[in-house]
Amino acid sequence: METWTIADLIDLEYFLSRDEEQDDSSAVKRDRRIYLLAVEPRISPEEVSTGGFRRRAVRIWLEERRKLYRKQQGRDAALPGNVFFEARSILAALIGIIGLFAGAGAAFSLLVYTGEEPVNVSAYLGILVFLQILGLLMMARFIFLKTSLNAVRRYSLVYTLMSRLLERMAVRLARSALASVSGGKRTEAGEISGTVRGMYGVYGRVLFWPVFSLVQLFGVLFNAGAIGATLIRVMTADLAFGWQSTLQMSSQSVHTLVRVLAAPWSWLLGQYAHPSLAQIEGSRIVLKEGIAPLSTASLVSWWPFLVAAVVFYGLLPRLVFLGVSLAGKRRSLTRLDFTHASCERLMMRMQSPTVSTQGLPGPSGLSGSQPAETKVEFEPFSLKHTDAAVLVPEDIYRRCDRGDLEQHLKSLLGWGFAYLFPVTGEMMEDRSSIDAAVQIHSANGGAAVLIQEAWQPPIIEIIRVVRELRARGGKEMRIAVLLIGKPGAGTIFTPVKPTDREIWSRVLASLGDPYLRVVAVGEQ
């Protein structure tokens, strides 16, 4: 139960996205029921105050949603996580096969020997060893950076192209899935693209490692193919190896170079670790003299060194990076805290008190509950306290009642009220209010709330305020946009029309900010 996988995260986001498309009141009743019947009995009171409570609660909720889904759709119903696992397994197999044949093909092409001119050791080392060393040095920097798909875009063209391709594929798949869930309802591409980019923001470090591991898998099989092809050619053909270079290098210089390169395996192969100085001199190719003057013993002395070089500078580093990618994925999964906006809404639904008529649990838990009609009054659950700095448009600032504001913050967000600041929508004038709101967050672990009148369209100045809050508060700062209707005679906290709420949600969703919440007065 404590272990998460990427397939679990995909299923989690799938269910959370489905909840966005359905009636909120039914989701509240269902999730509160899941909490009381499945989550609360399995988590001791001591664990509630610990940091791992949310991870366990979300995981139990996910398992129960899977049970309910299969109960409704059938035991063999496939979830997106299953599809991802199978697709990634097929992709890994294809990449491994391609890598194996690519390595073997590269080695065979470099080991062509017609009996007139020896195999050029310089070309073999240059392509199968030195180029790989250069690639490994460039790839090693990812281990020392904050590795995420978003961060990697700034450092690697290959990963940039791969991440953009994955994003486009994810947008198409998500759009199709949401259309089927919502009965064919058209979902804007910008909104879906923002959702996918939001997932990068939450799970970017997790999603980086599967891509990284596939690259290493290709490298492992590429080197295995090259080593296997080299050994097959050595055992089935009479190969001769020689070296030549346009650069004026002496035999002593070449001997020093191969001795340094062979240092990692010299203790293992002894005298066969690398050619001796005499063997290097006896295998130097001089085109005008041909192959006749070269020593046979010298011509065959190179192959153990070449195979060992590919093993130690190609295969083993890729195996190490593959192990690092697996460990990095596990580590990034254990660091997930599930505090982004979708999970915040989920925790609110599970922990908000309601009064409901529902069935009692059967012997198999929530998914096997019996439809007995029993009225159950849910006791309020204490949410983790978060103070919010609230930004209010200047024209309604003086009409904002602190008591009403605090009540709506608590009911809609589960947050407390800290400070109130006026904003005008002009960045130069609002910078001091934004700085003050961010300072409260960084000092006390609070949040920022921006109040907006939903009947007015979301203009670009408001979007800039949200972007500025994010830029100054950090990518994990909790930000919420609280929508209100047209201010009435006695209060500004009037209900919001569903159409206005939808417009604002779509525009703000296109920002791709996973820690941004949108709530409206009048929501359940």
Q: Which of 281, 274, 245 is nearest to 257 (CA)?
A: 274
DSSP 3-state of 455: coil
Q: Is residue 465 part of a domain?
A: yes
For CA atoms 117, 290, 131, 320, the dihedral sign is positive
* pLDDT of 417 strictly over 70: yes
> Judging by beta carbons within 10 Å of its beta carbon (0-12, 13-18, 19+), is residue 167 exposed, middle or buried?
middle
| Residues 339, 310 share a domain | yes
Mean pLDDT value across the chain: 78
Strand ranges for 386-477 from DSSP E = 387-393, 416-423, 447-453
| Residues 423, 338 share a domain | no
Domain boundary among 380, 404, 430: 380
| Residues 406, 364 share a domain | no
Comparing 4 with 142, the larger pLDDT belongs to 4
> Side-chain half-sphere of 443: how many Cα atoms within 13 Å?
9
Confidence of residue 481 (pLDDT cuts 50, 70, 90): very high
* pLDDT of 157 strictly over 60: no
| Residues 337, 405 share a domain | no
Task: Indicate the angle between helix axes 80-110 and 189-236, nearest 10 degrees.
Answer: 40
Instruction: Kindly report which listed range (190-194, 277-281, 398-402, 461-465) carries the lowest average pLDDT score.
Output: 190-194
Confidence of residue 308 (pLDDT cuts 50, 70, 90): very high
Q: Is residue 285 part of a domain?
A: no
| Residues 135, 4 share a domain | yes
d(CA 494, CA 417): 19
* pLDDT of 343 strictly over 60: yes
Domain total of the chain: 2
pLDDT for 271-303, tens place per residue? 888 888 888 888 777 665 556 566 677 778 889
pLDDT for 197-214, tens place per residue? 556 677 877 888 888 888
Structure tokens at 13: 């986001």
| Residues 485, 403 share a domain | yes
* pLDDT of 156 strictly over 80: no
pLDDT at 194: 47
* pLDDT of 190 strictly over 50: no
pLDDT for 97-140, tens place per residue? 999 999 999 999 999 877 677 888 888 999 999 999 988 887 77
Inter-residue contact 111 to 229 (CB < 8 Å) = yes
pLDDT at 82: 83
* pLDDT of 364 strictly over 50: no
* pLDDT of 311 strictly over 90: yes
pLDDT at 184: 42
pLDDT for 42-70, tens place per residue? 877 666 655 678 888 999 999 999 999 88
| Residues 177, 219 share a domain | yes
How far, in Å, are 293, 351, 436 from residue 414 at the CA level? Answer: 87, 10, 22
Neighbours of 242 (CB within 10 A): 21
pLDDT for 202-251, tens place per residue? 787 788 888 888 889 999 999 999 999 999 998 988 888 887 766 667 88
Give me the mean pLDDT over the 452-469 stretch: 87
| Residues 1, 99 share a domain | yes
* pLDDT of 323 strictly over 90: yes
DSSP 3-state of 257: helix
Q: What is the DSSP letter of 163?
A: H
Q: Is residue 268 part of a domain?
A: no
Q: Is residue 117 part of a domain?
A: yes
Write the DSSP string, 141-160: GGGGS---HHHHTTT-HHHH
Instruction: Kindly report which listed range (181-185, 240-244, 260-264, 283-287) carries the lowest average pLDDT score.
Output: 181-185
* pLDDT of 436 strictly over 90: no
Comparing 293 with 355, the larger pLDDT belongs to 293
**Which domain does 4 fall in, by range?**
1-243+302-380
Write the DSSP string, 112-143: ---SSS-EEHHHHHIIIIIHHHHHHHHHHGGG
Comparing 286 with 484, the larger pLDDT belongs to 484
Q: Of the segments 74-78, 103-107, 373-377, 429-433, which one has the largest average pLDDT value?
A: 103-107
> Which CATH number does the domain housing residue 498 bear?
3.40.50
| Residues 314, 415 share a domain | no
* pLDDT of 421 strictly over 80: yes
* pLDDT of 490 strictly over 90: no
Phi, psi (degrees; rounded to nearest 5) at 340: -70, 170
Q: Is residue 159 part of a domain?
A: yes
Q: Is residue 281 part of a domain?
A: no
| Residues 178, 34 share a domain | yes
Q: Is residue 75 part of a domain?
A: yes
* Entry field: residues in the chain: 524
Instruction: Kindly report which listed range (18-22, 308-312, 497-501) carries the lowest average pLDDT score.
Output: 18-22
Beta-bridged to residue 119, according to DSSP, are 241
| Residues 391, 375 share a domain | no
Confidence of residue 362 (pLDDT cuts 50, 70, 90): very low
Beta-bridged to residue 416, according to DSSP, are 387
| Residues 460, 368 share a domain | no
Domain boundary among 363, 380, 397: 380
Q: Of the segments 76-80, 218-222, 394-398, 440-444, which one has the largest average pLDDT value?
A: 218-222
pLDDT at 107: 94
Residue 284's identity, in one-letter code, is R
Comparing 200 with 34, the larger pLDDT belongs to 34
pLDDT at 94: 93
Domain boundary among 339, 364, 380: 380
pLDDT at 354: 52
DSSP 3-state of 284: strand
Query: 3-state SS string over 459-484?
Result: CHHHHHHHHHHHHHHCCCCEEEEEEE
pLDDT at 181: 43
pLDDT at 160: 58
Q: Give me the percent of the chain exceeding a pLDDT of 90.
A: 18
Q: Is residue 288 part of a domain?
A: no
Give me the mean pLDDT over the 167-181 stretch: 52
pLDDT at 230: 94
